[in-house]
Amino acid sequence: MPLIRNFAIIAHIDHGKSTLADRLIQHAGLVPDREFRDQLLDTMDIERERGITIKSQTVALPYTAADGQQYTLNLIDTPGHVDFSYEVSRALASCEGVLLLVDASQGVEAQTLANLYAAMEHDLEVVPVINKIDLPAADIEMAREAIDTELGLDGDDALLCSAKMGTGIEEVMAAVVERLPPPVGDADAPLAALIFDANYDVFRGTIVSMRVMQGTVRAGDVIRTMSNNVTYKVEEVGFFRLEREPRKKLSAGEVGYLIAGIKTVSDTRVGDTITLDKAPAESILAGFTMSKPVVFSSIYPVANDEYPSLVDALEKYSLNDASLEYEKDSSVALGQGFRCGFLGLLHLEIVQERLEREFDQSLIMTVPSVEYRIHLNNGTEIAVDNPAYYPDPVAIDKVEEPYIRASILMPERYMGVVMKLCMERRADNTNFTYPSPGRMEFTAEMPLAEVIFDFYDRLKSVTQGYGSFDYDLIGYRTGDVVKVDILVNSEPVDALSLIVHRENARARALQACEGLREEIPRQQFRIAIQGAIGGKIIARKTINAFRKDVTAKCYGGDISRKRKLLEKQKKGKKRMKMVGNVEIPQKAFVAVLKTNNE
Amino acid sequence: MSDDPDGGAPAGLYVHVPFCHSKCPYCDFFSEVGSGLQSAFVDAALREAEHHAAGRGPFDTLYLGGGTPSVLSPDGLAALVEGLGRVCSFTPDAEITLEVNPDDVTPRVAKLWRELGLNRISVGAQSFNEDELRFLGRRHTAHGALRALEAVREHGPPNLSIDLIYGFCGQSSTSLRESIDSAFSFAPDHLSCYQLTLEPRTVFGRRHARGELQRLGEEEERTCFLIVADAIRSRDFDHYEISNFARTSLVRSRHNQKYWCHTETIGLGPAAHSYRDGRRRWNVTDVADYVERVRGKGDATVGSESLTQKQIRLETLLLGLRTANGISVDFARTIDSGLDIVAALVHEGLVTMGGGRVTPTLQGFLLADGLPLRFDLE
Angle at B279 between CA B276 and CA B284, to 5 degrees: 95
Tens digits of residue pLDDT in B109-156: 999 999 999 999 999 999 999 999 999 999 999 999 999 999 999 999
What pLDDT sits at residue A528? 97
Provide the pairing of β-strand B120-126 with B159-166.
parallel
The mean pLDDT of A490-499, rounded to a whole number, is: 91
pLDDT tens per residue across span A270-316 = 889 999 999 999 998 887 777 778 899 999 988 778 899 999 999 88
How far does B57 lie from chain A, in Å, by closest CA? 18
> How far is B54 from B42, CA to CA, in rounded Å?
16
Instruction: Verify whether the Cβ–Cβ distance A566 to B372 is below 8 Å.
Output: yes
Amino acid at position B336, single letter: D
**Does residue A597 have a pLDDT over 50?**
no
Which pLDDT band holds residue B204 (cuts at 50, 70, 90)? Answer: very high
B72 CA to chain A: closest CA distance, Å?
22
- In chain B, ranges of CATH 3.80.30.20 domains: 12-260
DSSP 3-state of A7:
strand
Cα A558 from Cα B199, distance rounded (Å): 12
A96-135 pLDDT tens trace: 999 999 999 888 877 788 788 888 888 999 999 999 999 9
pLDDT band for position A460 (cuts 50, 70, 90): confident
Residue-wise pLDDT for A180-232, tens only, equals 999 999 999 999 999 998 888 888 888 999 999 999 999 999 999 998 899 99
DSSP for B147-213? HHHHHHHHHS-SEEEEEEEE--TT--HHHHHHHHHHHHTT--SEEEEEE----TTSHHHHHHHTTSS
Instruction: Compute the mean pLDDT over every residue in chain B, rounded to the nearest whole number.
Output: 95
Residues of A in contact with B256 (CB under 8 A): 555
Q: Count of CB contacts below 8 A, A vs B?
A: 92
Q: Which fold has domain B12-260?
A: pyruvate-formate lyase- activating enzyme (3.80.30)
In the predicted model, what is the mean pLDDT of chain A? 87
Task: Tell me the fold of B309-374.
Answer: Arc Repressor Mutant, subunit A (1.10.10)
- Taking a C-beta distance cutoff of 8 angstroms, is the pair A524, B367 a contact? yes
Tens digit of pLDDT for each residue in B294-326? 999 999 999 999 999 999 999 999 999 999 999
Domains and CATH numbers, chain A: 4-179 (3.40.50.300), 192-276 (2.40.30.10), 295-365 (3.30.70.870), 372-479 (3.30.70.240), 482-597 (3.30.70.2570)
Residues of chain B with CATH 1.10.10: 309-374
d(C-alpha B8, C-alpha A81), whole Å:
75
Give the pLDDT confidence of A361-406 residue by residue, as tens digits. Answer: 988 889 899 999 999 999 999 999 999 999 998 999 999 999 999 9
Please check the confidence at residue A505 and state whether its pLDDT lies above 50: yes
CA distance B377 to A567: 10
Interface of A with B in 212-231 (CB under 8 A): none
Is the peptide bond preceding residue B69 cis, with omega within 30 degrees of 0? no
For residue A199, the model assigns a pLDDT of: 83
Tell whether A556 lies on the interface with B, counting CB pairs under 8 A.
yes
The residue in chain A having the minimum alpha-carbon distance to the alpha carbon of residue B316 is A563
Could you tell me the pLDDT band of residue B238, with boundaries at 50, 70 and 90? very high
Question: How far apart are alpha carbons A564 and A562 in whole angstroms?
Answer: 5
- Can you give the pLDDT at residue B5? 43
DSSP H or E stretch at residue B366: helix B362-366
Has residue A244 got a pLDDT over 90?
no
Residue B367 to residue A554, Cβ atoms within 8 A: no
ipTM: 0.95
Residues of chain A positioned with their CB less than 8 A from the CB of B218: 546-548
- End-to-end Cα separation, chain A, in angstroms: 50
Measured CA to CA, the distance from residue A578 to residue B44 in angstroms comes to 54
| Chain B contact present for A523, CB below 8 A | yes
- How far apart are alpha carbons B10 and B59 in whole angstroms? 6
CA nearest neighbour of A133 among A98, A158, A97: A158
Helix (H) or strand (E) holding A149: helix A140-149
What's the pLDDT band for A322 if we cut at 50, 70, 90? Answer: confident
Does the pLDDT of residue A347 top 90, yes or no? Answer: no
pLDDT band at B96; cut points 50, 70, 90: very high
**Is the pLDDT confidence value at A162 over 70?**
yes
Residue B2: pLDDT over 80: no
- Asked if A509 and A571 count as a contact pair (C-beta separation under 8 A), the reply is no
Our CA-based measurement puts residue A525 at a distance from the nearest CA of chain B, in whole angstroms, of: 8
CA max distance for chain A: 95
pLDDT of residue A82: 63
Neighbours of A431 (CB within 10 A): 11
Cα(B153)–Cα(B186) distance, integer angstroms: 7
Measured between CB atoms, which of B311, B314, B322 is closest to A554? B322
**Percent of chain A having pLDDT more than 90?**
52
pLDDT for A235: 96
Higher pLDDT, A349 or B351: B351
